[in-house]
C-alpha cells in the first residue's frame, strides 16, 4: 500500500528522497538531525495532504508520531536535559534562550579550534613536568583545623541533589539495528510472518522504529512485503524479485 507518509518526497538542503529514508538515516546516525529542516518537512506534508480529495487521518497520525520522534531526536541532540526547562518559557523567551545557547556553543567550538591551533604552534616548546631531578622535596604544613568542617563536608555529600525533570526523556528510541536483527532472525526460522504479530505489545514509537527497520530490509532486498487489503496485516516474507527503489541522498 502506498503510504502518504513513507513516500512523502522531500527536497531539503541536507537530504533529497522519501521521508522514511530520511528517518532511517537519522536513526542510523548517518544524517545529522541538526541538519534537517523539520519545518520544511511539515510544509511538504501539508501540501501533500491538501492535494488529496479527503483528509487521510491515518496518514496524519503516522506523520505526527514520526515527525515528533524526529523533533525529539533533534532537540535531544541540541539541548539534552533542557526540554522541561524550556517548556516553561514563553515562546519569545524560549527563542531567545535557544539562540543564546546555540551561540554559546558555537563560540566554544571556535575557542576549541583556537586552542587546537595553539597546540600546533606550541609543539616545539618543551618544558619540565614535575620537580627538578636534584631539587629539595618541600614539606607541606597545615594549620590546625576544626573537625566540624569534616562533619559539614559529609553533610554536604549526603544532601540530595536538586531534582532534574526527566519528563522529556520519556520517548526512548530502540535502535533500528535491533529490529533489523530481530526480523532477520524470524525469517531464518519462518518463511512468512505478520508484522503486526511481531510488534504487538510494543509502544507506538517502538512500532514506528520497527516499521522503519522493515522498510530498510525491503530496500536492501532482504524481505518482500504484501498486504491483502488496506488495514489488513502486513505479511513479511523472504524476498522474490523486488523492485529496487531509486533514492538519492545529497550530503549537506
Partner 1 sequence: MDRPLRLISREGIVDSPIDALARTVEALLVVASQPLTLEQLVDATEDVLERVETALSLLSERYREGRSGIVLERAAGGYAFRAAREAAEACGRLFERPVERGLSQAALETLAIVAYMGPVSRPEIARIRGVAADSTVASLVERGLIAEAGREAGPGGAVRYRVTALFERVFGLDSLAELPRLDDLGADAESLRDRLLEVAGARAS
Least spacing, CB of residue 85 vs partner 1, in Å: 10
Choice between 1 and 252, CB closer to partner 1: 252
Choice between 40 and 202, CB closer to partner 1: 40
Choice between 31 and 75, CB closer to partner 1: 75
Residues 6+ apart with CB under 8 A from 237: 187, 191, 192, 193, 223, 224, 225, 226
Measure the CA–CA gap between 203 and 130, rounded to whole angstroms. 57
| Straight-line distance from the first to the last Cα atom of the chain, in angstroms, rounded to the nearest whole number | 31
Least spacing, CB of residue 26 vs partner 1, in Å: 16
Choice between 77 and 227, CB closer to partner 1: 77
Choice between 83 and 174, CB closer to partner 1: 83
Angle CA 248–22–209, to nearest 5: 135
Residues 6+ apart with CB under 8 A from 218: 224, 225, 242
Least spacing, CB of residue 65 vs partner 1, in Å: 20
Query: What length does the chain have?
Result: 252
Q: Among residues 24, 18, 74, 68, which one has the least CA distance to residue 176?
A: 24
Least spacing, CB of residue 212 vs partner 1, in Å: 24
The alpha carbon torsion through 33, 37, 43, 49 (nearest 10 deg) reads -30
Choice between 112 and 249, CB closer to partner 1: 112
Contact predicate 18/24, CB 8 Å: no
> Residue 117 CA to chain centroid, in angstroms?
31
Least spacing, CB of residue 110 vs partner 1, in Å: 7
Least spacing, CB of residue 60 vs partner 1, in Å: 17
Least spacing, CB of residue 37 vs partner 1, in Å: 10
Measure the CA–CA gap between 36 and 13, rounded to whole angstroms. 8
Choice between 88 and 124, CB closer to partner 1: 124
Amino acid at each position: 500500500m502506498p503510504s502518504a507518509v513513507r513516500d512523502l518526497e522531500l527536497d531539503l538542503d541536507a537530504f533529497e528522497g522519501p521521508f522514511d529514508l530520511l528517518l532511517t538515516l537519522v536513526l542510523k546516525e548517518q544524517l545529522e538531525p541538526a541538519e534537517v529542516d523539520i519545518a520544511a518537512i511539515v510544509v511538504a506534508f501539508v501540501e501533500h495532504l491538501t492535494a488529496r480529495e479527503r483528509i487521510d487521518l491515518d496518514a496524519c497520525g503516522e506523520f505526527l508520531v514520526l515527525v515528533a520522534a524526529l523533533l525529539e531526536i533533534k532537540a535531544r541532540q541540541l539541548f539534552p536535559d533542557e526540554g522541561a526547562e524550556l517548556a516553561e518559557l514563553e515562546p519569545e523567551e524560549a527563542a531567545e534562550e535557544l539562540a543564546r545557547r546555540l551561540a554559546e556553543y558555537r563560540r566554544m567550538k571556535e575557542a576549541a579550534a583556537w586552542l587546537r591551533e595553539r597546540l600546533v604552534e606550541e609543539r616545539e616548546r618543551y618544558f619540565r613536568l614535575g620537580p627538578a631531578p636534584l631539587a629539595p622535596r618541600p614539606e607541606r604544613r597545615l594549620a590546625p583545623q576544626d573537625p566540624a568542617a569534616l562533619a559539614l563536608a559529609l553533610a554536604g555529600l549526603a544532601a540530595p541533589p536538586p531534582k532534574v525533570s526527566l519528563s522529556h526523556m520519556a520517548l526512548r528510541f530502540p535502535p533500528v539495528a535491533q529490529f533489523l536483527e530481530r526480523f532477520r532472525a524470524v525469517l531464518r526460522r519462518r518463511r512468512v510472518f505478520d508484522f503486526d504479530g511481531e510488534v504487538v505489545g510494543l509502544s507506538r514509537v517502538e512500532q514506528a522504529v520497527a516499521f522503519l527497520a522493515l522498510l530498510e530490509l525491503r530496500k536492501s532486498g532482504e524481505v518482500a512485503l504484501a498486504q491483502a487489503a488496506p488495514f489488513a496485516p502486513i505479511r513479511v516474507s523472504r524476498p522474490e524479485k523486488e523492485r529496487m527503489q531509486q533514492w538519492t541522498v545529497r550530503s549537506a
